[in-house]
Chain A
């Protein structure tokens, strides 16, 4: 009963490097999303998807790309990492009326 799985748990990047945060869910949820969590700011929506092939921007999309080729996977790409992207990232899928299931998070540091 895996739920929402995120990898890696921790990552350190240098400014300008690229990387992909992986997210997979095994609950057959159509809706998936990415949030970042920063001290004193709660969670902010980066991108979301309402189904395979459909993505849209959230509150803070700049510097991030997403794609949704399958129902299960929703990777988040940082094309050129910046120190302002140091944060904890959470992937979530939605099942049932307005109930989000969160992964355990990826702690990213950009030096």
Chain B
């Protein structure tokens, strides 16, 4: 079945450091790929998405490129801020029958310090 594997956290960075959170997936067909972010005490929010190979999703300085050849969707940001501290979830969506099925990774906690 479908699966998403994320690097384990927590990831601790100093402010203005470069961020990479790795994500790889296993799925049949052509899934859409997502990054969701969960701030403390809140529900998940969509951060960015990509729907086909070589697409780049971007939002709030974060980027991720859909790499079909390596089945990856790594999240990057050039300069993190304290306000980026949150849990980040990689996910894929694939149509199965009449509904799309969303599969989440286990999440990676990011802690940014001054």
Contact = CB atoms under 8 A, between A and B. Distances in A.
Asked if A and B bind, the verdict is yes
Given A50-B98, A98-B100, A41 B44 contact: no
Interface of A: 4, 31, 40-45, 48, 50, 56, 90, 92, 97-100, 102-105
B46 A90 contact: no
Contacts of B45: 102
Interface of B: 4, 32, 34, 36, 41-46, 49, 51, 89, 93, 98-102, 104-107
B104 A42 contact: yes
5 nearest interchain CB pairs?
Answer: A102-B43, A42-B104, A42-B106, A43-B104, A102-B44
Contacts of A56: 99
A41 B4 CA distance: 11
Contacts of A41: 106
Task: Specify the main secondary structure of chain A where it touches its partner.
Answer: strand
B43 A90 contact: yes
Contacts of B100: 98
A4 B43 CA distance: 10
A42 B89 contact: yes
A108 B32 CA distance: 31
Contact of B32 (A45, A48, A98, A103): A98
B49 to A, nearest CB: 7
A59 B64 CA distance: 27
A100 B102 contact: yes
